[in-house]
Every structure is written in structure tokens, then in C-alpha cells.
């Protein structure tokens, strides 16, 4: 989303707003801006040489001190990015800082926006804007179409490679020792256990039963308890249907089966099934309306018991995608 303040600033600079970001060429710079979740960001993409970046970074760090709302002004993966905390009055600082950063850049010989930041060749006005999203981070780049596509492929290949080649415990410890030499070996080992999931194959060997069997047992047990509770409490028993979710989850966990996406869906389905089953036990004594309330209300409440599974499913989905690129169209 781009709200009023930023939208107005974009218009002043002659930049376009599309797909929730501001982008365009201002003077000789490829500029983009966006905001969300309590921050505002502007970024400048250009062919920045590393040596130049190091020199500029010192000047930019001085600038950081001038603005209370600035979080950082840094080069991230070769793109200059300035981020601000979003509070009333941020827009004024954002605006001043933007022009200050440009005047710093003016002091260096930076190739203009028509030079592709990826390959360093001119784009002859044929550059495209891409919005990259990776692990919830946004970034905008103005490059050749094929350079942006190549970059997306390359990053995703790297992510896939990392996924298929998880670090061994020894490598992990070695890497951590290098970064945090002062931490004890014991702590690092503990951290490793937390981060690294055991090998899928290895876990499959250990499993007691297929996960769905455990989930089904939990589901039937939950339904039974719920039906008994219904005898005492009537319709109010549905408040306890979250217990079905807990039992299904515990049943699945007991089998020591690999969970993954499939397992998560089994758990969610079995949880709702549990409520239907409980209602089935009591169907003779319920009126149609009560039955519906029981099914709908009970199902929703039962999902509270598996909230962590549902959240996990969403997170996994997002991570699975790796880097996504959205090509921003030029307005005709």
C-alpha cells in the first residue's frame, strides 16, 4: 500500500505508483519507495561498485545521525536502501533525507539509471521494474528483463540447494564458532538441535505408526469426550472442542511420523471430523438448529487446538516459494 503522504511525494517527483510500490526514474536515478507495517522505505538501484559503496557508506552513516526516525541507510545486496520508522512527521524527514542522499550520490560518479545494475550494459530505455519478495522482505530493481529473470532463478536455485544440503552438525558448529567465538559448545549444540530438523528418512524409520492412524485415534477419543460432555453441559460442550484439536495433534505426534504439509492437513481434517463425529453421537437428541450451531461453532473452536499447525502451514507455504518476482508494468 502507498498512502497519501508517500503518494503525494511520488507525484511531485514524477514517479508512478503500482502494485503497492512507487517506482520510476528521478533525475538520473532509479528510485523506488514503499511502506508497510510501521515503516517507510526508499531505495535507489544502480550499478554501484563495491569500492564506491564502502566510501559512500561512511557519508551515509553520518546522515543517519541527522534523522531521528531513520532505522538505517545501507547498501543491501547492491541496492541503496533507507528505512524509516513510520510515525506522524516521518514524511518530512523522509523527504529531506531523500534529497540529502541524492546529493551524496551526486558527489560520486555513479552510472545513470539506464545502466543495468546486474550486467552493467546499457538498457536503451528498455529496462523493467521488478518487485522482489523474499522471506517477507521487499526490494525493487530496475534492470534488463532477462537480468531480473536470471537473478530470480539464481536465488531460487541457491535456496533449493541449501534446502537439499542441510549443514551437518560439525559444519554448523564450526560456522557458529567463527561468528560467536565466545559462546560455549554446549549452547551451540543446543541451538543446532532447535534449528535443524532431523533427517526425513531417519524419522520415517523411527515412526511407530502412520501419522493418520494416530490422528484418527485422537479424533475418535476427542469425539467421545465431547459427546459425554454434551450429556452434562448440552450445547455449551462445544467450548471444549479445542480439546479435539489437542488430542488429534498429540495422536499424530505420538506416531513420530514426519509431519510436513500433508500431515498438517490430516491433523486439521481429523480435528473437524472429530466434531462431526461427536455431533453424530448426539444427533438424535438435538434440534436441527442446535445441530448446526454445534457443527459450525464446534469446528471453529476445535481449530484453536491446532492453531500452531495452521500457522505452520502458512509459514511453510511462504518459505516454499523462495524468491518471487513481480514485473511492474509501465503505464501506457
List residues near Zn ion by CB under 5 A.
116, 118-119, 144, 147
Beta carbon nearer to Zn ion, 118 or 133: 118
Minimum distance of Zn ion from residue 76's CB (angstroms) = 19
- CB 29 → Zn ion: shortest distance, Å? 17
289-293 long-range Cβ contacts below 8 angstroms, 24+ apart: 290/235, 293/235, 293/238
CB closer to Zn ion out of 119 and 304: 119
Q: Provide the grid cell at 122.
A: 546499457
In whole angstroms, how close is the CB of 151 to Zn ion at the nearest point?
Answer: 9
Nearer to Zn ion, 111 or 234 (CB): 111
In the complex, the smallest distance separating the C-beta of residue 152 from Zn ion, rounded to whole angstroms, is 13
Whole-number Å distance between alpha carbons of 63 and 7: 24
CA distance 234 to 73: 61
Q: Between residues 25 and 295, which has the closer beta carbon with respect to Zn ion? A: 25
Q: Closest Cα to residue 128, out of 105, 156, 110, 151?
A: 151
Taking the C-alpha atoms of residue 95 and residue 93, their distance in angstroms, rounded to an integer, is 5
**Start-to-end CA span in the chain (Å):** 21
Q: How far is the CB of 116 from Zn ion (least distance, A)?
A: 3
- For residues 7 and 118, which CB has a smaller minimum distance to Zn ion in the complex? 118
CB of 161 to Zn ion, least distance (A): 24
Q: Which is nearer to Zn ion, 97 or 328 (CB)?
A: 328
Identify the burial level of 111 via C-beta atoms within 10 angstroms of its C-beta, where 0-12 means exposed, 13-18 middle and 19 or more buried: middle
Name 42's bridge partners. 33, 82
* Residue nearest to Zn ion according to CB distances in the complex: 116
In 40-168, alpha helices (H): 50-64, 90-106, 145-164
Sheet containing strand 29-36, strands side by side: 16-18, 21-26, 29-36, 39-45, 79-85, 70-76
**Closest distance of CB 130 from Zn ion, Å:** 12
Nearer to Zn ion, 23 or 147 (CB): 147
Amino acid at each position: 500500500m502507498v498512502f497519501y503522504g508517500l503518494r503525494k511525494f511520488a507525484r511531485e517527483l514524477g514517479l508512478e505508483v503500482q502494485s503497492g510500490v512507487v517506482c520510476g526514474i528521478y533525475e538520473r536515478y532509479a528510485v523506488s519507495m514503499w511502506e508497510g507495517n510501521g515503516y517507510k522505505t526508499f531505495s535507489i538501484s544502480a550499478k554501484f561498485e563495491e569500492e564506491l559503496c564502502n566510501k559512500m557508506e561512511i557519508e551515509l552513516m553520518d546522515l543517519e545521525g541527522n534523522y531521528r526516525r531513520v532505522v538505517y541507510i545501507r547498501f543491501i545486496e547492491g541496492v541503496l536502501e533507507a528505512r524509516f520508522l513510520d510515525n506522524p512527521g516521518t514524511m518530512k524527514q523522509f523527504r529531506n533525507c531523500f534529497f540529502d542522499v541524492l546529493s551524496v550520490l551526486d558527489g560520486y560518479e555513479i552510472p545513470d539509471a539506464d545502466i543495468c545494475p546486474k550486467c552493467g550494459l546499457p538498457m536503451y530505455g528498455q529496462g523493467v521494474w521488478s518487485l522482489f519478495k523474499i522471506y517477507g522482505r521487499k526490494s525493487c530493481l530496475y534492470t534488463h528483463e532477462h537480468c531480473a529473470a536470471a537473478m530470480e532463478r539464481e536465488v531460487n536455485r541457491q535456496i533449493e540447494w541449501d534446502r537439499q544440503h542441510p549443514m551437518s552438525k560439525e559444519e554448523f558448529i564450526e560456522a557458529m564458532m567463527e561468528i560467536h567465538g565466545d559462546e560455549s559448545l554446549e549452547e551451540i549444540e543446543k541451538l543446532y538441535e532447535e534449528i535443524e530438523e532431523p533427517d526425513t528418512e531417519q524419522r520415517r524409520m523411527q515412526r511407530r505408526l502412520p501419522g493418520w492412524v494416530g490422528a484418527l485415534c485422537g479424533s475418535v477419543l476427542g469425539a467421545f469426550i465431547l459427546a459425554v460432555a454434551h450429556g452434562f453441559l448440552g450445547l455449551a460442550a462445544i467450548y471444549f472442542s479445542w480439546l479435539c484439536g489437542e488430542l488429534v495433534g498429540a495422536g499424530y505426534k505420538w506416531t513420530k511420523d514426519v509431519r510436513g504439509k500433508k500431515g498438517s492437513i490430516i491433523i486439521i481434517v481429523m480435528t473437524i471430523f472429530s466434531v462431526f463425529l461427536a455431533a453424530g453421537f448426539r444427533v438424535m437428541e438435538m434440534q436441527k438448529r442446535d445441530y448446526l450451531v454445534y457443527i459450525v461453532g464446534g469446528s471453529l473452536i476445535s481449530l484453536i487446538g491446532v492453531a500452531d499447525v495452521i500457522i505452520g502451514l502458512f509459514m511453510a507455504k511462504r518459505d516454499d516459494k523462495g524468491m518471487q518476482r513481480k514485473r511492474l508494468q509501465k503505464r501506457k
